[in-house]
């Protein structure tokens, strides 16, 4: 501790969204706790929601312990910086019940007033530690804040016109679903996935868009399941159309 009584600064460098999962995988929970500070909220699919270090520290310890238990390793895929939030996407390799799996995982760090920050973690861990139901936590915002290309897809899905949504995707494009499976446009699987997505009710939230990738948060209602948070990451190709759509939910 410093002479003035404050905790020492965290050794973690980089955007919080980028360092969150690597810190937990490596067991650097103390450094992550200092980086988060006492104005943070963390919402995790395995262990729920925590605010203030009194509740966040035990959550970090549990997540890190579970990552160690399943032998987790992390590979970074993409980072997107927006006006009020950043997103980091990666792949989490784990061994669960003797079976090797590789799961897409994303972290959104939303910056709020008074230096408050909220981290929302998106991935589908399946069994393991027992996934907790999550209430919708993403507030709706006017559609005008979302990129026109993305809204073309969303509006087409909402109207039941999956074929119109398909027109926003490059010929060699694909979607990566929450379990890491690819559905390509050329073999018709992307169209089938969009058709299923169109049957969901999407209430849009905020987004981070750097001109190449638009990471859009939403509350998704699917048949037979409670509404929950989701992240749709639209990566544009050189054509300006969508090259890859990565979808995260539980």
Q: Last residue of some domain: 56, 90, 122?
A: 122
Domain boundary, last residue among 91, 122, 153:
122
Query: Is residue 138 situated within a structural domain?
Result: no
Give helix 29-36 / helix 53-69 axis angle, nearest 10°: 150
The answer as to whether 8 is a domain residue is no
Q: Within a domain: residue 137?
A: no
* One domain for residues 80 and 151: no
Domain range holding 80? 16-122
Q: How far is 157 from 201, CA to CA, in rounded Å? A: 9
pLDDT of residue 247: 97
Q: How far apart are CA 98 and CA 112, in angstroms?
A: 41
Q: State whether 110 and 36 are in the same domain.
A: yes
d(CA 62, CA 172): 41
- Total domain count for the chain? 2
Q: Tell me, yes or no, whether 9 lies in a domain.
A: no
pTM: 0.89
Q: What is the pLDDT of residue 146?
A: 66
Mean pLDDT by 10 residues, the chain (250 residues): 41 92 97 93 92 92 96 97 96 93 96 89 70 54 66 91 92 96 96 92 91 94 81 96 95
Say if residue 95 is in the same domain as residue 51: yes
Domain of residue 211, CATH code: 3.10.450.50
Residues 189, 105 share a domain:
no
Last residue of a domain, one of 73, 88, 122: 122
Residue 36 CB neighbour total at 10 angstroms: 24
């Amino acid at each position: 501790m410093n002479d003035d009584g404050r905790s020492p600064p965290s050794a973690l460098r980089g955007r919080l969204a980028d360092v969150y999962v690597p810190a937990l995988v490596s067991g650097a929970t103390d450094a992550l706790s200092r980086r988060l500070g006492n104005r943070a909220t963390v919402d995790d699919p395995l262990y729920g929601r925590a605010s203030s270090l009194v509740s966040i520290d035990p959550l970090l310890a549990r997540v890190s312990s579970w990552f160690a238990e399943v032998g987790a390793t992390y590979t970074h895929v993409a980072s997107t910086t927006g006006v009020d939030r950043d997103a980091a996407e990666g792949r989490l390799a784990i061994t669960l019940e003797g079976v090797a799996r590789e799961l897409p995982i994303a972290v959104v760090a939303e910056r709020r007033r008074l230096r408050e920050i909220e981290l929302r973690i998106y991935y589908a861990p399946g069994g393991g530690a027992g996934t907790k139901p999550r209430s919708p936590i993403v507030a709706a915002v006017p559609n005008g804040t979302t990129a026109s290309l993305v809204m073309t897809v969303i509006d087409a899905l909402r109207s039941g016109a999956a074929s119109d949504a398909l027109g926003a995707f490059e010929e060699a494009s694909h979607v990566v679903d929450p379990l890491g499976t690819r559905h390509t446009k050329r073999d018709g699987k992307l169209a089938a996935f969009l058709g299923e997505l169109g049957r969901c009710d999407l209430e849009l939230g905020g987004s981070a868009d750097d001109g190449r990738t638009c990471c859009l948060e939403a509350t998704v209602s699917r048949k037979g399941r409670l509404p929950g948070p989701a992240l749709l990451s639209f990566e544009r190709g050189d054509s300006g159309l969508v090259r890859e759509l990565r979808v995260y939910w539980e």
